[in-house]
Amino acid sequence: MRTLITGGAGFVGSHLCDRFLGEGHEVLCVDNFITGNLGNCEHMRGNPSFQFIRHDISHPIEIDGPLDNILHFASPASPVDYLRHPIPTLKVGSLGTHNTLGLAKAKKARYLLASTSEVYGDPEQHPQREDYWGHVNPIGIRGVYDEAKRFAEAMTMSYHRYHSVDTHIVRIFNTYGERMRLDDGRVVPNLMGQALRGEPLTVYGDGSQTRSFCYVADLVDGIYRLLFTEFHEPVNLGNPNEVSILEFAKEILELSGSKSRIEFKPLPQDDPKVRRPDITRARRLLGWEPKIERREGMKRTMEYFKNKVNG
């Protein structure tokens, strides 16, 4: 099998490259490094089944030879990144999705789109099920990411309905693990980095807002399973074990042994108050649910960040 992964030098993308190589695929990793890191793929570069292509997938790409699978994971994914790169975020969600779907159509390849729980916005339904249409501010500062992904889902379903492309959509909830960037602005690297450096831990609002954290190996397993189904509508993948941000910050302090204090700052615009996936569909369709307990996943991630902070 020959598999192309856009955003393959990113956090989740590089773990997908590892998984597909481990399953015996030839992997073509496409990235332009707007937020990806070549170091995430360094250990793969001696593998004859791995090929790296530096390219911005918002522009068309030509690939020689057959392709069996295309996974579109290219996009800034943290608020810090997509607020810094709003137009590239919109372009990779629209033009990049169009380009990769056109390639899948031409190659008769399976296609999987990385969507996000952000399509639900600041949800009025809790937990979030796939049939919920969301509560999104299209012109708010987060709209560049939310609407790019909502458009990408619409484009993907259109290519399935009108061109019979074998498409799949995963809605990814908060994911963490090794290869996250310390400066990517998401809650796990933010809080862990601050704890390890002895800085105050930043909690926005009163910390009562909730998130559900899924370890990256669990997520990748669900994605791999989803690609080879005959199901075409969105599927939530995430951990339904919900925790408040304040409680999570306290867990990180305990795990790190840090003496840092918690510092409260104003809640950012349109920040979701709750976030928890309903994974009934994933359980039924894929026989999937997270296996790695949060404490175990956090230990592994903390060790990774320790090396980054001390290095």
Cα separation, 65 vs 244, in Å, equals 48
Cβ atoms of residues 156 and 167 within 8 Å: yes
Q: Which of 82, 111, 120, 145 is catalytic?
A: 145
Tokens found for residue 50: 């791995």
In which element (H, E) is residue 91 found?
Answer: helix 86-107
- Beta strand spans in the chain (E): 2-6, 26-31, 50-54, 69-72, 110-116, 167-172, 175-176, 201-204, 210-212, 214-215, 234-237, 242-244, 262-265
145 is catalytic: yes
The Cα 16–Cα 2 span in angstroms is 13
Task: Specify the amino acid at residue 172.
Answer: I
CA–CA separation, 303 and 274 (whole Å): 28
Measured CA to CA, the distance from residue 248 to residue 187 in angstroms comes to 9
Yes or no: say if 170 and 231 are a contact pair by the CB < 8 Å rule.
Answer: no
Distance between start and end Cα atoms, the chain:
38
- Identify the sign of the CA torsion 245, 247, 249, 252: negative
Rounded CA separation 134/129 (Å): 10
Which residues form the catalytic set?
145
